[in-house]
Amino acid sequence: MKNIKACLSCILVLLFITGCSVFTEDTVVGIDILDLDDAAAAKPSSLHETASPSITEEPDIMPLTSEKQIFEALYGEPYEPYIKYSSEDIQSRRHRVEYDADKPMVALTFDDGPGGESTRAILSTLTQYSVHATFFMLGKQAKQYPDIVDSVIEAGCEIGNHSYYHSDFLKMTQREIADELQMTSDLMLQEHGYFIKLVRTPYGRKNDEIKAAIKYPIIFWDIDTLDWDTRDAQKTIEAALGKAKDGDIILMHDLYMSTAEAVATIVPGLLDRGFQLLTVSELFEAKGVQPLSGTIYRKVTG
Ligand code: NI
Protein backbone atom coordinates (compact mmCIF):
# COMPACT_ATOMS: atom_id res chain seq x y z
CA MET A 1 0.00 0.00 0.00
CA LYS A 2 2.83 2.37 0.93
CA ASN A 3 4.55 1.60 -2.35
CA ILE A 4 1.45 2.37 -4.32
CA LYS A 5 1.10 5.67 -2.48
CA ALA A 6 4.77 6.51 -3.09
CA CYS A 7 4.35 5.66 -6.75
CA LEU A 8 1.25 7.78 -7.03
CA SER A 9 3.11 10.69 -5.41
CA CYS A 10 5.93 10.31 -7.93
CA ILE A 11 3.49 10.37 -10.81
CA LEU A 12 1.75 13.41 -9.36
CA VAL A 13 5.06 15.24 -8.94
CA LEU A 14 6.04 14.34 -12.51
CA LEU A 15 2.69 15.49 -13.82
CA PHE A 16 3.03 18.74 -11.89
CA ILE A 17 6.52 19.43 -13.26
CA THR A 18 5.41 18.65 -16.81
CA GLY A 19 2.33 20.82 -16.37
CA CYS A 20 4.41 23.72 -15.10
CA SER A 21 6.81 23.73 -18.01
CA VAL A 22 3.97 23.59 -20.52
CA PHE A 23 2.23 26.44 -18.73
CA THR A 24 5.39 28.54 -18.81
CA GLU A 25 6.02 27.99 -22.50
CA ASP A 26 2.44 28.68 -23.39
CA THR A 27 1.97 31.81 -21.42
CA VAL A 28 5.25 33.67 -21.46
CA VAL A 29 5.72 35.97 -24.39
CA GLY A 30 9.49 36.13 -24.53
CA ILE A 31 12.58 35.68 -22.46
CA ASP A 32 12.82 39.40 -21.80
CA ILE A 33 9.43 39.27 -20.12
CA LEU A 34 10.49 36.34 -17.96
CA ASP A 35 13.58 38.27 -16.94
CA LEU A 36 11.62 41.42 -16.32
CA ASP A 37 9.33 39.46 -14.04
CA ASP A 38 12.27 37.92 -12.19
CA ALA A 39 13.99 41.25 -11.78
CA ALA A 40 10.84 42.87 -10.45
CA ALA A 41 10.16 40.00 -8.06
CA ALA A 42 13.72 39.83 -6.79
CA LYS A 43 14.31 43.51 -6.17
CA PRO A 44 11.06 45.43 -6.01
CA SER A 45 12.49 48.31 -4.03
CA SER A 46 15.94 48.56 -5.54
CA LEU A 47 14.90 48.56 -9.21
CA HIS A 48 15.02 52.30 -9.37
CA GLU A 49 18.56 52.66 -8.11
CA THR A 50 19.96 49.79 -10.15
CA ALA A 51 18.27 50.73 -13.42
CA SER A 52 20.83 53.23 -14.68
CA PRO A 53 24.18 51.54 -13.95
CA SER A 54 23.26 48.16 -15.41
CA ILE A 55 21.04 49.18 -18.30
CA THR A 56 23.84 49.10 -20.87
CA GLU A 57 25.11 45.74 -19.66
CA GLU A 58 21.80 43.91 -19.46
CA PRO A 59 19.24 45.85 -21.46
CA ASP A 60 16.88 42.88 -21.75
CA ILE A 61 16.22 42.45 -18.07
CA MET A 62 15.65 46.06 -17.10
CA PRO A 63 12.33 47.86 -17.42
CA LEU A 64 12.03 50.01 -20.51
CA THR A 65 12.20 53.71 -19.86
CA SER A 66 11.90 55.58 -23.13
CA GLU A 67 9.42 55.85 -25.99
CA LYS A 68 12.22 54.60 -28.25
CA GLN A 69 12.87 51.53 -26.10
CA ILE A 70 9.19 50.66 -25.87
CA PHE A 71 8.74 51.08 -29.61
CA GLU A 72 11.70 48.88 -30.48
CA ALA A 73 10.65 46.20 -27.99
CA LEU A 74 7.17 46.12 -29.51
CA TYR A 75 7.97 46.41 -33.19
CA GLY A 76 11.50 45.00 -33.42
CA GLU A 77 12.64 47.79 -35.70
CA PRO A 78 14.42 51.09 -35.18
CA TYR A 79 12.27 53.81 -33.75
CA GLU A 80 11.29 56.70 -35.92
CA PRO A 81 8.50 59.01 -34.98
CA TYR A 82 5.55 57.76 -37.01
CA ILE A 83 3.65 60.94 -37.49
CA LYS A 84 0.91 61.43 -40.00
CA TYR A 85 0.61 65.11 -39.23
CA SER A 86 3.84 66.36 -40.64
CA SER A 87 3.13 70.08 -40.52
CA GLU A 88 5.33 71.89 -38.04
CA ASP A 89 2.33 73.72 -36.70
CA ILE A 90 0.41 70.65 -35.56
CA GLN A 91 3.60 68.99 -34.35
CA SER A 92 4.36 71.89 -32.09
CA ARG A 93 0.78 72.11 -30.87
CA ARG A 94 0.83 68.41 -30.09
CA HIS A 95 4.00 68.49 -28.13
CA ARG A 96 4.40 71.94 -26.68
CA VAL A 97 3.18 72.54 -23.19
CA GLU A 98 3.99 75.35 -20.85
CA TYR A 99 3.96 74.62 -17.18
CA ASP A 100 5.60 75.79 -14.00
CA ALA A 101 7.19 72.78 -12.29
CA ASP A 102 6.97 74.56 -8.93
CA LYS A 103 3.20 74.95 -9.05
CA PRO A 104 0.70 72.17 -8.30
CA MET A 105 -0.50 70.02 -11.17
CA VAL A 106 -2.89 67.14 -11.79
CA ALA A 107 -3.71 64.83 -14.69
CA LEU A 108 -7.34 64.28 -15.69
CA THR A 109 -7.78 60.87 -17.29
CA PHE A 110 -10.74 59.48 -19.22
CA ASP A 111 -11.27 55.76 -19.83
CA ASP A 112 -13.26 53.52 -22.18
CA GLY A 113 -13.83 56.01 -25.00
CA PRO A 114 -13.91 57.71 -27.33
CA GLY A 115 -17.61 57.96 -26.66
CA GLY A 116 -19.09 60.24 -29.29
CA GLU A 117 -20.87 63.39 -28.07
CA SER A 118 -19.62 63.06 -24.50
CA THR A 119 -16.00 62.94 -25.61
CA ARG A 120 -16.54 65.87 -27.98
CA ALA A 121 -18.04 67.92 -25.16
CA ILE A 122 -15.12 67.12 -22.84
CA LEU A 123 -12.63 68.00 -25.56
CA SER A 124 -14.43 71.27 -26.13
CA THR A 125 -14.01 72.21 -22.45
CA LEU A 126 -10.32 71.22 -22.47
CA THR A 127 -9.72 73.30 -25.59
CA GLN A 128 -11.68 76.25 -24.23
CA TYR A 129 -9.36 76.46 -21.21
CA SER A 130 -6.21 75.39 -23.12
CA VAL A 131 -5.53 72.45 -20.84
CA HIS A 132 -4.56 68.87 -21.53
CA ALA A 133 -5.88 65.48 -20.41
CA THR A 134 -5.20 61.83 -21.16
CA PHE A 135 -7.68 59.50 -22.84
CA PHE A 136 -7.15 55.80 -22.18
CA MET A 137 -8.99 54.57 -25.25
CA LEU A 138 -10.35 51.21 -26.28
CA GLY A 139 -9.26 50.14 -29.75
CA LYS A 140 -12.83 49.21 -30.71
CA GLN A 141 -14.09 52.67 -29.74
CA ALA A 142 -11.22 54.40 -31.54
CA LYS A 143 -12.10 52.42 -34.65
CA GLN A 144 -15.67 53.70 -34.38
CA TYR A 145 -14.70 57.37 -33.87
CA PRO A 146 -11.53 58.06 -35.88
CA ASP A 147 -12.37 61.77 -36.16
CA ILE A 148 -12.48 62.11 -32.37
CA VAL A 149 -9.11 60.38 -32.06
CA ASP A 150 -7.66 62.98 -34.42
CA SER A 151 -9.30 65.81 -32.46
CA VAL A 152 -7.81 64.50 -29.20
CA ILE A 153 -4.33 64.39 -30.76
CA GLU A 154 -4.69 67.83 -32.31
CA ALA A 155 -5.82 69.29 -28.99
CA GLY A 156 -2.45 68.27 -27.54
CA CYS A 157 -4.02 65.62 -25.33
CA GLU A 158 -2.49 62.23 -24.76
CA ILE A 159 -3.89 58.84 -25.77
CA GLY A 160 -3.20 55.81 -23.62
CA ASN A 161 -3.97 52.16 -24.31
CA HIS A 162 -6.91 50.67 -22.40
CA SER A 163 -6.89 47.42 -24.44
CA TYR A 164 -9.00 46.76 -27.54
CA TYR A 165 -12.15 45.11 -26.13
CA HIS A 166 -11.94 46.02 -22.41
CA SER A 167 -11.03 42.42 -21.66
CA ASP A 168 -10.33 40.99 -18.22
CA PHE A 169 -6.56 40.49 -18.12
CA LEU A 170 -6.88 38.17 -15.11
CA LYS A 171 -8.42 35.59 -17.43
CA MET A 172 -5.83 35.91 -20.19
CA THR A 173 -2.35 34.61 -20.87
CA GLN A 174 0.55 37.04 -21.13
CA ARG A 175 0.59 36.48 -24.89
CA GLU A 176 -3.11 37.35 -25.16
CA ILE A 177 -2.64 40.48 -23.07
CA ALA A 178 0.32 41.67 -25.13
CA ASP A 179 -1.52 40.91 -28.38
CA GLU A 180 -4.68 42.79 -27.41
CA LEU A 181 -2.71 45.83 -26.31
CA GLN A 182 -0.75 45.69 -29.53
CA MET A 183 -3.99 45.81 -31.58
CA THR A 184 -4.83 49.21 -30.11
CA SER A 185 -1.26 50.51 -30.38
CA ASP A 186 -1.10 49.36 -34.02
CA LEU A 187 -4.41 51.05 -34.82
CA MET A 188 -3.17 54.35 -33.39
CA LEU A 189 0.13 54.12 -35.21
CA GLN A 190 -1.26 53.00 -38.57
CA GLU A 191 -4.48 55.02 -38.72
CA HIS A 192 -3.45 58.12 -36.77
CA GLY A 193 0.34 58.24 -36.80
CA TYR A 194 0.26 58.25 -33.02
CA PHE A 195 2.58 56.19 -30.84
CA ILE A 196 1.05 55.25 -27.49
CA LYS A 197 3.37 55.36 -24.48
CA LEU A 198 1.11 54.41 -21.56
CA VAL A 199 -1.30 51.62 -20.61
CA ARG A 200 -4.17 51.42 -18.16
CA THR A 201 -5.51 47.90 -17.67
CA PRO A 202 -9.30 47.41 -17.91
CA TYR A 203 -10.94 47.27 -14.45
CA GLY A 204 -7.57 48.29 -13.02
CA ARG A 205 -6.58 44.63 -13.06
CA LYS A 206 -3.09 43.85 -11.83
CA ASN A 207 -0.85 41.02 -10.71
CA ASP A 208 2.78 40.08 -11.37
CA GLU A 209 1.95 38.22 -14.60
CA ILE A 210 -0.06 41.12 -15.99
CA LYS A 211 2.66 43.62 -15.10
CA ALA A 212 5.31 41.45 -16.71
CA ALA A 213 3.26 41.16 -19.92
CA ILE A 214 3.01 44.93 -20.38
CA LYS A 215 5.92 46.73 -21.99
CA TYR A 216 4.60 50.14 -20.99
CA PRO A 217 4.33 52.12 -17.77
CA ILE A 218 0.95 51.24 -16.22
CA ILE A 219 -1.09 54.22 -15.10
CA PHE A 220 -3.67 53.82 -12.35
CA TRP A 221 -5.23 56.69 -10.39
CA ASP A 222 -5.21 58.37 -7.03
CA ILE A 223 -8.72 59.83 -7.21
CA ASP A 224 -11.62 57.71 -8.44
CA THR A 225 -14.61 59.97 -9.15
CA LEU A 226 -16.91 56.91 -9.58
CA ASP A 227 -18.57 58.86 -12.39
CA TRP A 228 -19.48 55.62 -14.19
CA ASP A 229 -21.41 54.49 -11.12
CA THR A 230 -23.15 57.65 -9.94
CA ARG A 231 -23.72 59.21 -13.41
CA ASP A 232 -24.19 62.33 -11.33
CA ALA A 233 -22.33 65.47 -12.41
CA GLN A 234 -22.43 67.06 -8.96
CA LYS A 235 -20.96 63.97 -7.27
CA THR A 236 -18.25 63.75 -9.92
CA ILE A 237 -17.40 67.41 -9.39
CA GLU A 238 -17.18 66.96 -5.63
CA ALA A 239 -14.99 63.87 -5.95
CA ALA A 240 -12.56 65.58 -8.32
CA LEU A 241 -12.38 69.00 -6.68
CA GLY A 242 -12.67 67.91 -3.06
CA LYS A 243 -9.58 65.75 -2.92
CA ALA A 244 -7.23 67.00 -5.63
CA LYS A 245 -3.60 67.32 -4.55
CA ASP A 246 -0.41 68.03 -6.43
CA GLY A 247 0.60 65.09 -8.65
CA ASP A 248 -2.77 63.37 -8.56
CA ILE A 249 -4.13 61.28 -11.40
CA ILE A 250 -7.92 61.62 -11.54
CA LEU A 251 -10.09 58.87 -13.04
CA MET A 252 -13.20 59.58 -15.10
CA HIS A 253 -14.91 58.03 -18.14
CA ASP A 254 -15.73 59.97 -21.29
CA LEU A 255 -18.78 57.87 -22.12
CA TYR A 256 -21.32 59.86 -20.12
CA MET A 257 -22.85 63.30 -20.62
CA SER A 258 -22.95 63.61 -16.81
CA THR A 259 -19.16 63.38 -16.84
CA ALA A 260 -18.89 65.91 -19.67
CA GLU A 261 -21.13 68.23 -17.66
CA ALA A 262 -18.93 67.74 -14.59
CA VAL A 263 -15.75 68.45 -16.55
CA ALA A 264 -17.12 71.86 -17.55
CA THR A 265 -17.01 72.73 -13.82
CA ILE A 266 -13.99 70.63 -12.77
CA VAL A 267 -11.58 72.27 -15.23
CA PRO A 268 -12.19 75.91 -14.21
CA GLY A 269 -12.49 74.75 -10.59
CA LEU A 270 -9.03 73.17 -10.62
CA LEU A 271 -7.58 76.20 -12.42
CA ASP A 272 -9.10 78.50 -9.77
CA ARG A 273 -7.42 76.39 -7.10
CA GLY A 274 -4.06 76.94 -8.79
CA PHE A 275 -3.67 73.56 -10.48
CA GLN A 276 -2.15 73.07 -13.90
CA LEU A 277 -3.84 70.38 -15.98
CA LEU A 278 -1.34 68.22 -17.85
CA THR A 279 -1.27 64.91 -19.64
CA VAL A 280 0.17 61.99 -17.69
CA SER A 281 3.38 62.07 -19.74
CA GLU A 282 3.69 65.80 -19.14
CA LEU A 283 3.15 65.17 -15.43
CA PHE A 284 6.06 62.69 -15.41
CA GLU A 285 8.21 65.18 -17.27
CA ALA A 286 7.29 68.07 -14.99
CA LYS A 287 8.03 66.02 -11.88
CA GLY A 288 11.30 64.72 -13.30
CA VAL A 289 10.14 61.11 -13.02
CA GLN A 290 11.15 58.58 -15.67
CA PRO A 291 8.28 56.08 -15.95
CA LEU A 292 9.31 52.43 -16.13
CA SER A 293 7.57 49.72 -18.13
CA GLY A 294 5.64 47.12 -16.14
CA THR A 295 5.41 49.52 -13.19
CA ILE A 296 2.16 50.88 -11.76
CA TYR A 297 1.78 54.60 -11.04
CA ARG A 298 -1.14 56.04 -9.09
CA LYS A 299 0.19 59.58 -8.87
CA VAL A 300 3.39 61.37 -9.77
CA THR A 301 4.97 63.36 -7.00
CA GLY A 302 8.63 63.39 -8.01
NI1 NI B 1 -12.26 50.80 -18.34
pLDDT at position 79: 66
pLDDT at position 263: 98
Q: Among 69-73, 138-142, 180-184, whose mean pLDDT is lowest?
A: 69-73
What is the 32 CA–ligand 1 centroid distance (Å)? 28
| pLDDT confidence bin for 17, thresholds 50/70/90 | very low
Contact 266, 236 (CB under 8 A): yes
What is the 64 CA–ligand 1 centroid distance (Å)? 24
What is the 188 CA–ligand 1 centroid distance (Å)? 18
Q: Is the pLDDT confidence value at 179 over 70?
A: yes
pLDDT at position 80: 61
What is the 179 CA–ligand 1 centroid distance (Å)? 18
Q: Is the pLDDT confidence value at 283 over 70?
A: yes
Give just the sign of the alpha carbon dihedral 273, 252, 227, 143. positive
Q: Is the pLDDT confidence value at 269 over 60?
A: yes
C-alpha torsion angle, residues 64, 221, 230, 168 (rounded to 10) = 30
What is the 141 CA–ligand 1 centroid distance (Å)? 12
H/E run at residue 108: strand 105-111
* Mean pLDDT on 280-302: 93
What is the 299 CA–ligand 1 centroid distance (Å)? 18
| pLDDT confidence bin for 43, thresholds 50/70/90 | very low
pLDDT at position 88: 43
pTM of the entire predicted model:
0.76
Q: Is the pLDDT confidence value at 226 over 90?
A: yes
Contacts of residue 129, defined as CB under 8 A and 6 or more positions apart, other chains included, come to: 267, 268, 271, 277
* Mean pLDDT on 52-62: 38
* Mean pLDDT on 66-85: 68
| pLDDT confidence bin for 72, thresholds 50/70/90 | confident
Q: Is the pLDDT confidence value at 8 over 80?
A: no
Ligand 1 ion: Cβ-proximal residues, 5 Å cutoff: 111-112, 202
Active-site amino acid positions: 111, 253
pLDDT at position 96: 59
* Mean pLDDT on 68-87: 64
What is the 251 CA–ligand 1 centroid distance (Å)? 10
* Mean pLDDT on 252-280: 97
Residues paired with residue 219 on neighbouring β-strands, in sequence order: 297
* Mean pLDDT on 190-204: 92
Q: Is the pLDDT confidence value at 164 over 70?
A: yes
Q: Is the pLDDT confidence value at 50 over 70?
A: no
Average pLDDT over all residues of the chain: 79
pLDDT at position 192: 87
What is the 111 CA–ligand 1 centroid distance (Å)? 5
Q: pLDDT for 98-121, tens place per residue?
A: 889 999 999 999 999 999 999 999
Helices 257-272 and 117-128, axial angle in degrees (round to 10): 10
